[in-house]
A and B are shown apart, each in its own frame.
Chain A
């Protein structure tokens, strides 16, 4: 059967301006920024599509949208990986040029398991955690952005016996399909 398709592997982002001089590139090792999180249309779409195990979600939610000048300073290009650290944790995400730039000194990560790792759970007695306006650092890294299932395994370790983060991070990927024993939708007649 032919279904209308809504899958999109990567959000559309602008090209980086290549006119910066070489001596501006990669001058900063660690960038001190303000972190905002929230929703955007790509993240919202794949979250509700239910494609959270897939590349699509990883790229929509696990991406740090940056001001292009910050990217130049840090020496990263679109879809390079960066390590973002806050007082609450650290996570590896993609870097990409923000559609809302300029906003030098501010980075934006869509809500999702990646952002959750580093946002503040402080509610200051009003029920709502502080998802926006958190101090963070951003640095270039070679580590890979994990798929959702792998990230959940690393961060929460609910069903792995291993405790060493590095080992868990490098375990075999759980992949982009649900991992369970039982019938899949393709096997069910009615579906």
Chain B
């Protein structure tokens, strides 16, 4: 990339906008706006800037339906919505997947529709931090807000997370570099440790890199726990790490005044999956006997946490909620998108603000080639190549306001800065329209005739 001079030709600056990329939800972006378009953005990282300075070539601007010849064709909104509603109304096992890049206001409409028709609602947690949620359900969840990290933390550990690449401002804005109330010297007051088999960009910024072996995470955390509890290690090398290094690390962790573990998909995507997180959580709990420790999962999308929170307060379950029996069911590995697709259960797939084409394994996506796929998104992406109905949404935090939840659970109202393209619609409106059309097509909802109390709750 060659040097680009700063943009100086703009009409106004819209301040304090919220970045709709990763779970950092940086809410300090300034958009430079000219003629109703964002022409440049300040304070954003490379990722945030690239999302806001989107590729207009691939912006979805008109509703489309796949024709008989296999090519997508522009249609009017009514036709596209009717088609989508028809698919859903005639389905027996619809799955509504995505939601992590839209607002909770939109999720509400989706949930109404899902409950009405008896669908499965699931989000990207199913392919990222699902195991973390499972571990949380086993072990607990000692967390803190990111400002707390900024103000207090003197030891930061990144495990299986390459923050410099996936959450580029995390270290700068919240954890490592900022000057906090009790950490006035910023970076110099903190010890940073990265645990990752790769010498990642985050490891390069750290004081210490612990490059345990691939799939060695579980053994490594067990060793740490043993040492915290005062045990001696008999093996000289554990998961590729010499035991002296483990002793030294544990000593540092115990003597931290306020430590935080940030963990990412490095732990959830390997073979031990939720057991890795389980043991990491227990390690943090053990450390609390010695000093103060917390953790935070590095959530990938700006509202992936929001969907989990939203579903939990609406239905009691975080993700993968199945309404096909008229009540909320949640069983990991059973009511989750990947498992459903691999078992070839769904007969209609609605994908909103997500891209299974880009992120699901081949073995799951193959089923999408055999069923109708409805896509609501802002860009033409891999999923568009599998979609039968395409509905162009609008860009939350730029063209449309909405609520999102940061990785640490702090809610942020993402404001609107410019108008959306005339032919696009807000996600919330699209889902509501589909819902109302489905309700007309299928007048009998998937409900019980009468309230039957649950004796277990009496």
A residues sitting closer than 8 Å to B (CB atoms) are: 1-8, 34, 36-41, 44-54, 61, 88-89, 99-103, 106, 108, 111-113, 116-121, 123-133, 148-149, 152-153, 155-160, 176-185, 188-191
- Please state if A6 and B49 are interface contacts (CB–CB under 8 Å): yes
Nearest to B364 among chain A residues (CB) is A121
- Please state if A130 and B131 are interface contacts (CB–CB under 8 Å): no
Partner of A116, one of B74, B164, B266, B362: B362
Partner of A99, one of B7, B197, B201, B364: B201
Known: A111-B359, A131-B265. A49 touches B165 (CB 8 A): no
Task: Give the Cβ gap from B212 to chain A, nearest Cβ, in Å.
Answer: 12
A48 and B366 CA atoms in complex are apart in Å by 24
Known: A89-B362, A116-B360, A178-B380. A158 touches B369 (CB 8 A): yes
Task: Give the Cβ gap from B420 to chain A, nearest Cβ, in Å.
Answer: 9
Partner of A3, one of B46, B53, B166, B419: B53
A159 and B385 CA atoms in complex are apart in Å by 9
Q: Which of B35-43, B280-288, B437-445 lies at the binding interface?
A: B35-43
A128 and B148 CA atoms in complex are apart in Å by 30
* B320 at interface by CB-CB < 8 Å: yes
* B191 at interface by CB-CB < 8 Å: no
Contact with A along B291-305 (1 / 0, CB 8 A): 000000000100000
- Please state if A129 and B361 are interface contacts (CB–CB under 8 Å): yes
- Please state if A133 and B380 are interface contacts (CB–CB under 8 Å): no
Between A and B, 12 residue pairs with Cβ closer than 8 Å are A4-B49, A5-B1, A100-B199, A100-B203, A116-B361, A116-B362, A121-B338, A127-B125, A128-B273, A133-B215, A148-B385, A180-B74
A185 and B361 CA atoms in complex are apart in Å by 31
Please count the residue pairs between chain A and chain B whose beta carbons lie under 8 angstroms apart in the complex: 285
Partner of A132, one of B7, B270, B355, B368: B270
- Please state if A156 and B369 are interface contacts (CB–CB under 8 Å): yes
Residues in chain B near residue A118, CB distance under 8 A: 362
A1 and B364 CA atoms in complex are apart in Å by 42
Nearest to A98 among chain B residues (CB) is B198
- Please state if A190 and B265 are interface contacts (CB–CB under 8 Å): no
Task: Give the Cβ gap from A130 to chain B, nearest Cβ, in Å.
Answer: 6
Summarize A's interface: helix, strand, loop or mixed.
loop
- Please state if A41 and B168 are interface contacts (CB–CB under 8 Å): yes
Partner of A180, one of B21, B72, B130, B339: B72
- Please state if B4 and A4 are interface contacts (CB–CB under 8 Å): yes
* B308 at interface by CB-CB < 8 Å: no
B residues sitting closer than 8 Å to A (CB atoms) are: 1, 4, 7, 9, 21, 34-35, 37, 39-41, 46-47, 49-51, 53-59, 61-62, 64, 66-67, 70-74, 125-128, 130-131, 134, 162, 164-166, 168, 197-201, 203, 214-215, 265-266, 268-271, 273-274, 300, 320, 332-334, 336-339, 342, 355, 357-366, 368-369, 378-382, 384-386, 419, 421-423
- Please state if A125 and B359 are interface contacts (CB–CB under 8 Å): no
- Please state if B358 and A112 are interface contacts (CB–CB under 8 Å): yes
Residues in chain A near residue B269, CB distance under 8 A: 37-38, 128-133
Residues in chain B near residue A38, CB distance under 8 A: 162, 265-266, 269
Residues in chain A near residue B127, CB distance under 8 A: 127-129, 131
Nearest to A184 among chain B residues (CB) is B61
Task: Give the Cβ gap from B432 to chain A, nearest Cβ, in Å.
Answer: 23
Partner of A188, one of B53, B266, B336, B423: B423
Nearest to A148 among chain B residues (CB) is B382
Across the A-B interface, the 3 shortest Cβ-Cβ residue pairs = A182-B74, A50-B379, A121-B363
Partner of B58, one of A1, A52, A133: A52
Known: A5-B4, A99-B201, A183-B62. A121 touches B57 (CB 8 A): no
- Please state if A103 and B199 are interface contacts (CB–CB under 8 Å): yes
Task: Give the Cβ gap from B2 to chain A, nearest Cβ, in Å.
Answer: 9
Residues in chain B near residue A149, CB distance under 8 A: 385
Residues in chain B near residue A61, CB distance under 8 A: 358
Partner of A121, one of B51, B362, B379, B380: B362
Task: Give the Cβ gap from B10 to chain A, nearest Cβ, in Å.
Answer: 10
- Please state if B381 and A50 are interface contacts (CB–CB under 8 Å): yes
A190 and B419 CA atoms in complex are apart in Å by 10
A181 and B69 CA atoms in complex are apart in Å by 12
Further pairs besides A116-B361, A124-B271: 17, Cβ < 8 Å: A2-B9, A36-B198, A41-B46, A41-B168, A41-B201, A45-B47, A54-B57, A88-B362, A100-B201, A111-B358, A123-B333, A123-B339, A128-B126, A181-B71, A185-B57, A190-B422, A190-B423
A2 and B268 CA atoms in complex are apart in Å by 42
Residues in chain B near residue A123, CB distance under 8 A: 333, 336, 338-339, 342
Known: A127-B130, A183-B74. A41 touches B164 (CB 8 A): yes
- Please state if B1 and A52 are interface contacts (CB–CB under 8 Å): no
Partner of B214, one of A4, A36, A50, A158: A36
A128 and B336 CA atoms in complex are apart in Å by 9
- Please state if A133 and B39 are interface contacts (CB–CB under 8 Å): no
